Structure 1
Amino acid sequence: MFGFFPPTVPRASGDWHPIAKRWFQSLKDSGQAQFYKQSDWLTAVYVTEAMSRNLTQGKFSTRFFQPAMSAMTGLLAAEGAR
């Protein structure tokens, strides 16, 4: 009926800030990545894009920090979330 298809892991954008790229790569290398579905990877792309924009603008936005950390927790990207 419905088959399981492994997700396509997106490539990191060459335009992303280096810290954001390293974070995204760390997700690919992490143990929890084996449980990620396509929607998780697309969430990670969105979070990484937002993180990159925040890091490359002249002033760091503290308003973005908490929502970004919340999204990272949802991806089990921090030990406390795992």
Structure 2
Amino acid sequence: LCDFTCPVCNKRFSRIAGLKSHIMLHKKEENLICSVCGDEFVLQSQLSLHLDEHQKELSGVRVAYTCKSCSKEFKMFT
């Protein structure tokens, strides 16, 4: 059941949060840009996680694996 439709491209979403995140993709000028590498993000939380990775690189902390679902970091990938 998709009750929310993007007014720009007509893509449909079942949740308003999904629609809001999607609409930001259409507003490139409003995207958040990493000051270190220039990567662009729609959500502040995405940029914050990304900047944390840069900070770890600069501090010498090595993380072997970061879970894509929960962002938890592990020293080993098994």
Q: Report if TM-score (shorter chain) is over 0.5.
A: no
Which structure has more helix as a fraction of its residues?
Answer: 1
Which structure has more strand as a fraction of its residues?
Answer: 2
Q: Which interval holds the TM-score relative to the shorter structure?
A: 0.3 to 0.5
